[in-house]
Amino acid sequence: MTTPPLRLGVNIDHVATLRNARGSAYPDPVRAALLAIEAGADGITAHLREDRRHIIDRDIERLVEVLTVPLNFEMAATDEMQAIALRHKPHAVCLVPEKREERTTEGGLEVAGDLERLTDFIAPLTEAGCRVSLFIGHDPRQIEAAARSGAPVVELHTGHYTDLVAEGRAEEAALELAGLKQGAQLAHSLGLEVHAGHGLSYDTVSPFAAMPVVRELNIGHFLISEAVFVGLGPAIARMRALMDAARG
């Protein structure tokens, strides 16, 4: 059996972080998105946070207008964000937990304990043609609940694994990776499409690219950071090459 292709979604949030640090018009995240597509991105991911700390509403409007690849719109499961998604109808909507005080999305979405509300929340997005994905940890309870929510996709949170690797905690990292692998298999066996992302870098991307059931990786902060030194195109091209090599 041949391994299905693996898509790379490039998250451009932190181009907007840099822009907003000065309140200037540059660097423009939409320009970054177009460059990312040229360099081989299969999709563009952007997270409109409640506090608009990086991506702002106008960025989403412009992305919807100009993108030639799917937009993966990350958002919290709130009425405000649902209305914005229903207005723009992006290809994909990724529901993430969101806390004002966090620096980045810290954990996965609580699906099992909020299943009824999330099922109702997802239905109109699906009816509008958006492919909804739920950003979750590898806990089987959350994966099984996701499979009952009406969402066709889960994105597994790789951030805990990448933190453990960065801290040199190899044994714990291996355990977390095993959990993510099992979670990916469980989600796939329940009929969910599996994506993964958060904190991925050249050093940590390979084990996820090598999992045949994983169909998409969403990567942002590392690529934008690397772009400062080598440019966005070369950074993406190298990530793509590592993904392809691991995929075999």
Q: Which residues bind ligand PXP (CB under 6 A)?
A: 11, 13, 47, 74, 94, 96, 104-105, 135, 155, 197-200, 218-222
47 classed as catalytic: yes
* CA angle, 96 then 102 then 108, to 5°: 30
CB of 148 to ligand PXP, least distance (A): 20
198 given a catalytic annotation: yes
Smallest gap, in angstroms, from Cβ of residue 1 to ligand PXP?
Answer: 28
Q: Between 145 and 239, whose beta carbon lies closer to ligand PXP?
A: 239
Which residue, 149 or 218, has its beta carbon nearer to ligand PXP? 218
Coil, helix or strand for 70?
coil
Catalytic residue among 176, 195, 198, 216: 198
Q: Tokens 């409109």 identify what position?
A: 48
User: Of 61, 102, 58, 55, nearest to 75 (Cα)?
Assistant: 55
Tokens of residue 40, six digits: 């081989």
**Which is catalytic among the residues 47, 157, 188, 195?**
47
**Min separation Cβ 42 and ligand PXP, Å:** 14
> How far apart are alpha carbons 107 and 7 in whole angstroms?
23
Task: Report the residue number whose CB is nearest to ligand PXP.
Answer: 220
Residue number with CB closer to ligand PXP (93 or 147): 93
At closest approach, how far in Å is the CB of 157 from ligand PXP? 7
Distances (CA, A) of 140 to 38, 181, 229: 38, 12, 40
Q: How far apart are CA 102 and CA 198, in angstroms?
A: 14
Q: Residues with catalytic annotation? A: 47, 74, 198
